[in-house]
Homo-oligomer: A and B are copies of this chain.
Amino acid sequence: MVKTGETVKKLSRKGYRLTPQRLMILEAVDGADDHISAEEIYAQVCDQYPNLNISTVYRTLELLKELELVTETDLGDGRVRYHNIKKGHHHHLVCHRCGNIIDMDEAVLSPLKAALLMQYGFNAELRHLAIFGLCKECK
């Protein structure tokens, strides 16, 4: 799914380079079936390039967020998770009793976004959110 040409363009437009490390990290995010953590990316890339440092992973993820190539979310388990932005915008409802995670369409938050803009002139970034509470079974 990584289109190297486009990625290079997006990076170089801001004076950044597509280094081997960055490419491998992006591929790891891309190849993951689910949300992947920095530590998991690190372990995976280390298999082919053991020199990689974990701080490079974090810095790269920061960069990829900035370029809107990946999104992050914190599902409440003490680490942030990432996925390619092309996997579609969505949010999660996290039950903190049973741990169940319900996927939720982006549209559910549209009225809130509109209300915040209307009432406060605030342009909320409601991207890949996790909302905590109790699910149907645990209520």
Contacts and interface: CB of A to CB of B under 8 A. Distances in A.
A126 to B, nearest CB: 7
A121 B133 contact: no
A108 to B, nearest CB: 6
A95 to B, nearest CB: 8
Contacts of A102: 120, 122
A104 interface: yes
Q: Report the copy number of this chain in the oligomer.
A: 2
A72 to B, nearest CB: 12
A111 B108 CA distance: 10
A116 interface: yes
26 contacts: A93-B122, A95-B122, A96-B125, A102-B120, A104-B116, A104-B120, A108-B115, A109-B112, A111-B111, A111-B112, A111-B115, A120-B136, A121-B136, A121-B139, A122-B131, A122-B133, A122-B134, A122-B135, A123-B134, A123-B135, A123-B139, A124-B131, A124-B132, A124-B133, A125-B132, A125-B134
Minimum-distance CB pairs A-B, first 7: A121-B136, A124-B133, A123-B134, A125-B133, A93-B122, A123-B133, A123-B139
